[in-house]
Amino acid sequence: MYAIRITGTLNDDANSNTNASINFSVDVKKDCSKDTIAINAAVADAVYYFNDGDTVYSPTWTYKFDGCPKTCSYTQTSSATGDIVTGIDAATGAVTVNTVAEATFDKVDTTITVTCAMDDNASSTAQDVFIITTRSRCWDSTVVAPAFATDTYTGVELWAD
């Protein structure tokens, strides 16, 4: 809600121009210092398979006012040394994951925390925390026991001297 007050005075002097007018311009801005941010749709925990290329995980946010600037950042923690996040869109909080470091990250859970803050209201922040499990597709392969035919072979001595 906006309250706009305009005050003007016309000269009532008898010698004044009777076609007098007042020109004004109004610049209405959102009060971004009062904007708030909250998580709307969190990223679900997921599995990232090596060699899948760039995969983007995008939380969505709600705001009090559209168009107010915000900045997003991330942290990641895991038992492995290195990063699986290769980038973040600072305006949306979308993180890109990509790794081929199977020796380092196979069967590793990485907790990613995306934090977004309103630029004009430092006290308004929101976070999305999710876990990306990195692993080889081999771990999810189905192994089936071989099936042997019961055919009888005659006339062939495989172990004969």
Instruction: Delineate the domains of the chain, giving CATH numbers in brackets.
Output: 40-140 (2.60.40.10)
As beta bridge partners, residue 74 has 114
* Tokens read off for 80: 């492995």
User: For residues 9 and 94, which has the higher predicted lDDT (pLDDT)?
Assistant: 94
- Tens of pLDDT, residue by residue over 107-150, are 999 999 999 999 988 889 999 999 999 999 999 889 888 888 77
Nearest Cα neighbor of 59 from 121, 115, 119, 117 is 115
The helix (run of H) or strand (run of E) holding residue 37 is strand 37-41
The alpha-helical segments, DSSP class H, found in the chain are 102-105
The answer on pLDDT for 38 being more than 60 is: yes
**Largest distance between two CA atoms of the chain:** 136
pTM above threshold 0.85: no
Q: Where does the pLDDT of residue 11 fall: very low under 50, low under 70, confident under 90, or very high at 90 and above?
A: low
- Tens of pLDDT, residue by residue over 45-68, are 999 999 899 999 999 999 888 888
Cα distance between residue 133 and residue 80, in whole Å:
12
